[in-house]
A and B are shown apart, each in its own frame.
Chain A
């Protein structure tokens, strides 16, 4: 699915995206030159640690960023149509219809004063011009689609009557109400318990399989990526440092940061020569978001860094089909090779 003719454009193409925020401490450059593509019917994971720019990248697509302080440049094309120079009114028609979002916090994303059914129907009436009754019955179908038991009863309930997992399913139902082409899910299961998470991830898989919805899944959890994503982009300090199909990425991570993240997981503990079980740390801290020297941003923390890493910034280079990494000294093919 990721192999398409170059001439045919992807569903979503982001090119040279840069997003900065003016703060009292100066300009924070959250996203620095990110380019990525989302194909039809694909689940693309944007992963990385807090502050890497994954959420900001995704939020720039429907431009859900404070306009007064945001400095955005680059190109975002949805089905060939440029979004960055659209006026606010045109974007409003796209939000919730072509591009919709699911957020992390299911507790605060729903309006407590209205029934679940009303809130779903509201979206349908606004974007699709449906009648009240038609929207109502569609709401029941949508709740069923996201795996909510007894949907006909649930539509009449208020958010406070639902558990966290159920609320998140309702949020997804609202997001897919108008059959969006792109669904952006920002840490959708982070606030949920694992036994609930599994079910919600199944909903995303199901939406992709049944409706062909393309999904951008923003997450810090490599387990979640492994579970549902087709392809993943790993971000660090505002840049994409590696991208590949998920199986390829986990089997043969090339960028030392990707490999480091995988080895830092508690499940990847190794037994040292002293018999103690240890995790592989990534030493040091993420660089401050204010400056951006022409060098590899990861080099101070990188076990493979050499002199040339500070000479100039490595660009994304291809390592086989669909696999790209931005590193002068990438890991060899054996997973976790030498560190």
Chain B
């Protein structure tokens, strides 16, 4: 098997807060890898730490501990200068189509920036590459002279994609790239991402809170809760048979756009609230909301291991080779 394009090992990111010497444990020991041409969907709710991981991969945030490797090379401690040539191969797409483009630049300048910065193309050649890239993301090449405020949200997000892809990177980190868009626009941007990913073959770390989006786009999924991955595996398997109680709750909470089926479904309504990442629970972090937690869950932290199948590790004491908990059955 090929070396992973991205490998994150035991990543920890704590944000110290001023008083009390405590810290927000945004990411607390996460390992994941993305293979060549693979789309990994990183799913979690707010405060799960999913965006922090994306920012650590791009070194927009310095990890507290652990390592990030790109194409087999550990980049965690590289200086900014040493990192610069590697940045050619890794780009990011952001959530907010309004704040992610420099309002003072034209669309052409925005897309040409990476070319110029990495000395790939200048002048007329850069212009040709920009035209091609714009057309590839479904924008007319005439858009080059426009500025972001003249574009719609969907068009801006396409410009963001063009900027991320113009250097034909090996890895794209996409942080909620369609969450701010309306359904009809979201559909076309998702199709576009799927098409470009297949045609250009880049790997993608796709960060989102929306399960239906990862179901459409991702090959594999990693589900995060409170700074940790609780379950990971191939998309179809996770959707067909979620093993971790949190994954089950998450899947059952997302309403289906079908009133008949939605109203017949057994939903798992989680009690309690997401604990503070300042002071995460001992043992399994989900135990405070888990309806089937037992004593072990409160004291021992479960390891993320392939209990039943090697390709889908899950961090839950109650998942055993012989049994999987099912929250949707009477409890």
Contact = CB atoms under 8 A, between A and B. Distances in A.
Contacts of B73: none
A285 B152 contact: yes
B291 to A, nearest CB: 12
A267 B191 contact: no
A223 B262 contact: yes
Interface stretch (A69-77, A79-87, A133-141, A189-197): A189-197
B96 interface: no
A266 B198 contact: no
A269 B182 contact: no
Interface stretch (B79-87, B120-128, B141-149, B208-216): B208-216
A193 B182 contact: no
B259 A246 contact: yes
B187, B211, B249, B267 — which one has the most chain A CB atoms within 10 A of its CB? B187
Interface in B258-279: 258-260, 262-263, 267, 269-270, 273-274
A264 B216 CA distance: 12
A30 to B, nearest CB: 16
Contacts of B184: 49, 260-261, 264, 281-282
Interface string A262-274: 1011111100000
Q: Which secondary structure dominates chain A's binding surface?
A: helix
Interface residues of B, number: 40
A168 to B, nearest CB: 12
A278 B188 contact: no
Contact of B194 (A220, A221, A277): A277
Contacts of A260: 184
A193 B259 contact: no
A224 interface: yes
A279 interface: yes
A62 interface: no
B191 to A, nearest CB: 5
Nearest to A301: B184
Given A260-B184, A277-B194, A281-B188, A194 B253 contact: yes
Interface in B137-187: 152, 154, 182-184, 186-187
A129 interface: no
A197 B253 contact: yes
Interface in A234-278: 246-247, 250-251, 260-262, 264-269, 276-278
Given A50-B182, A195-B249, A278-B191, A226 B46 contact: no
A322 interface: no
A193 B190 CA distance: 21
Contact of B212 (A197, A229, A267): A267
Contacts, number: 117
A173 to B, nearest CB: 17
A246 B259 CA distance: 7
A50 B182 CA distance: 7
Contact of A195 (B45, B191, B258): B45
Given A193-B45, A277-B216, A250 B259 contact: yes
B30 interface: no
Given A250-B257, A250-B259, A198 B267 contact: yes
7 closest Cβ pairs, A-B complex: A223-B255, A282-B184, A264-B187, A193-B45, A49-B182, A279-B187, A266-B212
Given A195-B249, A195-B270, A226-B255, 11 more contacts: A197-B253, A198-B269, A223-B257, A227-B255, A251-B260, A264-B186, A266-B216, A276-B194, A278-B194, A281-B187, A285-B152
Interface of A: 49-50, 163, 165-166, 193-195, 197-199, 201-202, 220-227, 229, 246-247, 250-251, 260-262, 264-269, 276-283, 285
13 contacts: A166-B273, A193-B209, A194-B45, A194-B253, A197-B255, A199-B269, A202-B269, A220-B182, A223-B255, A225-B257, A261-B183, A264-B187, A281-B184
